[in-house]
Amino acid sequence: MIIADRKSLEEIQDMIKEYKKILLVGCKGCVTVCNVGGAKEVGVLAATLKIARKKDGNPIEIDEKTLERQCDPEYVEQIRDIFDQYDAVVSMACGVGPQFLSEAYPSQKFFPAVNTKFFGGAVQHGIWEERCAGCGTCVIHYYDGLCPIARCSKSLQHGPCGGSAGGKCEIAKDVECIWDTIVKKKMEQGRLEDLRTLRAPKDWQTARDGGPRKSIREELVQ
C-alpha cells in the first residue's frame, strides 16, 4: 500500500492561515491503514487545528468528511454538494487524492495534509518500510523475492557495492543492506551462482523516468 506521513501542524497551519472555514477530507484507503489520513486522524487534526487557531485568537470552522477512496471519481463525487461551501479543502489522502479532488472541482483550492512516502507495509506496529519502487518491470524473482531496486540505496542490480558492513548499508546504521540479505539467502539455498548472471542495464522507461505513466485495461474501458 501507499505509506504517508502527516505534515507538521505548523506547515498545515501555514497553508490555511488565511481561511476561516475549511473542509478536511480523509480517505478510507491506504492512509487509513497506515494511520495517517482516515476518519480518526481527520478528527484529531481538525480538533488540533481548531484549538491552535482559537488560541491564536483566529478561530476556524472545520467540517470533516472521509471518503471511501479519494483516488476514484465515483467517491470523489461524494463532496459535490458541499465542496463550494468552504474557503478551501484539505486532503489527508496520498498525493493522488488532492489531485483527483482538484480535477473534479477546479474552482476550489485544495491542500495536502500528508507527505506521500513510498509503497510498503508494516513490519511491526507503527513501523512501515519500503518494499516497492514502482519501477514498472518487476525483477524480484532474480533476487529470491527481495527487491534491490527499492531496497538497495543505489538500486544495484549487481550488488553488494562494498560499502556495507555487518549487514548494514553505508548510508545509515539502521538501514539493512538488502544485498547482504540476498547473498545470505542464496548461500543458504546453495544457489549463489545465480548472482553471477549479468543482467542487462535496467530499462527505466517503465519507471517514472519514462514520464508520467498510465495503465489501460482494454477489457474494462467502456
Partner 1 sequence: MHLKNKFDVGKFTILAEMQPPKGVNVSTMVNSAVRVKNMVDAFLVPEMGNAVMRMSSLGGAMILQSHGMETIMQVNCRDRNRIALQADLLAAYGCGILNIMGVSGEDPGLGDHHQTKAVNDIDLMTLFKAVSALQTGKDLAGNELSGSPSFLVGANVNARATGDALEKELSRMAEKTEAGVDFFIAPPVFDIGAIAPFLEKVDLKKTRIIPTVMLLKSVGMARYLDRHLNVTISQDLIKRLMRAPDKAVESLSIATKIISAVKEAGFSGVMISAMGWEDKLQKLLDMV
Chain residues binding partner 1 by CB under 8 A are 201-205, 207, 209-211
Report the nearest approach of partner 1 to the CB of residue 185 (Å): 28
Q: How many CB atoms are closer than 10 A to CB 82?
A: 12
Report the nearest approach of partner 1 to the CB of residue 179 (Å): 20
Closer residue to partner 1, CB minimum distance, 105 or 118 = 118
Report the nearest approach of partner 1 to the CB of residue 148 (Å): 15
Closer residue to partner 1, CB minimum distance, 68 or 203 = 203
Q: How many CB atoms are closer than 10 A to CB 39?
A: 16
Report the nearest approach of partner 1 to the CB of residue 165 (Å): 24
Closer residue to partner 1, CB minimum distance, 78 or 155 = 155
Closer residue to partner 1, CB minimum distance, 166 or 212 = 212
Report the nearest approach of partner 1 to the CB of residue 201 (Å): 7
Nearest to 81, CA basis, from 61, 65, 95: 65
Type of residue found at 117: K
Closer residue to partner 1, CB minimum distance, 133 or 146 = 133
Report the nearest approach of partner 1 to the CB of residue 212 (Å): 12
Closer residue to partner 1, CB minimum distance, 106 or 201 = 201
For the chain, how long is the longest CA-to-CA vector? 69
